[in-house]
Amino acid sequence: MLLFLFSCFVPGPGRKDPRCAAAPASTPPSRPRSCPPTSPPATTCTTTLYLRPTFGLLRPQPWAPLTDAEWAALRPILAEHGCGVADHPRPGRPMADARARLDAIFRAVTLKRPRPQGGGRAAWNQLPPEFGKADTVSRTYRRWCAADLWMRLLQVVGAEDCPEVLARLTHRICCAFRRGIRLMGLRAIVLARRLRLYSALPAPSFWLPDPDLSEIYMPVISRPAAPRQGALGPPAGPGQPPPDRLHAPRHGRPGQDRRVDGAAVRAA
């Protein structure tokens, strides 16, 4: 009798108690997507920001004079930008030996200080005297930098169809390009990053400004700030200074605008 009652209330291995049936799985509420649908995934951002710039650097190569084949490939580019070589007569005194001057620039930008002196790149005045005067070489480098020669050379060696004779000069061209980042500005940083020639950058890529990345993440930054824009209150009415005048610059320092309307004071 007891066994019969026990079997009525306790289901066997083949029976299921309807009271213990699993409740239908409810779909968890989806979190609002803060990133726009067109933003790249996290793995792509990590590779672009950290892995590729860190492990994609060029191996340093010792300096060597330009060969005849290398100079024959570089000469048309120098002539195109008017850098020491001209296929047609130009006003002014022509450069005596543009090939030797380019060799001197490549030697200066690849020269390193000894480790006891701190390492790093050497100054122009440490150029060996057999390459000419350091002031003349540095002045030529800045003049060619203003003529966008180094940006043109970086585009050539960064192209997929770069000739093999110029591909051997990639390290030296990256060193020359990196030396003139301050003269060329932000456009040089953008060019080197787009060509993935991270050895041409003066610092790790994730330490430098990236306008391309700013265009991707600006919607992400502005979306959480959109609800707070209305919390600043209505725009300034007549007789009130606009918000951008509350902290107007005063002699290079931000300060509050303390100007008082005389008519309003007399009316009070």
Where b means 16+ CB within 10 Å and e means fewer, 133-169 reads: ebeebbebbeebbeeebbbebbbbbbeeeeeeebebb
Q: Which of 17-21, 41-45, 145-149 has the lowest mean pLDDT?
A: 17-21
pLDDT at site 5: 47
Tell me the C-alpha distance between 63 and 61, whole Å: 6
Query: How buried is residue 37: exposed, middle or buried, by Cβ count under 10 Å (0-12/13-18/19+)?
Result: exposed
Res. 39: pLDDT tops 70: no
Alpha-helical (H) ranges within 128-210 are: 134-146, 149-158, 164-167, 170-179, 181-184, 186-194
Reported pTM: 0.62
Annotated domain spans of the chain: 60-87+94-213
Reported as a single tens digit per residue, the pLDDT across 55-73 is 667 788 888 999 999 999 9
With a pLDDT cut of 90, the percent of the chain lying above it is: 36
Res. 137: pLDDT tops 90: yes
| Centroid of chain to Cα 185 | 11
pLDDT at site 114: 80
Given a contact cutoff of 8 angstroms between Cβ atoms, the answer to whether 78 and 149 are in contact is yes
Which has more pLDDT, 29 or 192?
Answer: 192
Query: How buried is residue 97: exposed, middle or buried, by Cβ count under 10 Å (0-12/13-18/19+)?
Result: exposed
**What band does 117 get if pLDDT is binned at 50, 70 and 90?**
confident
**What band does 42 get if pLDDT is binned at 50, 70 and 90?**
low
Which has more pLDDT, 223 or 28?
Answer: 223
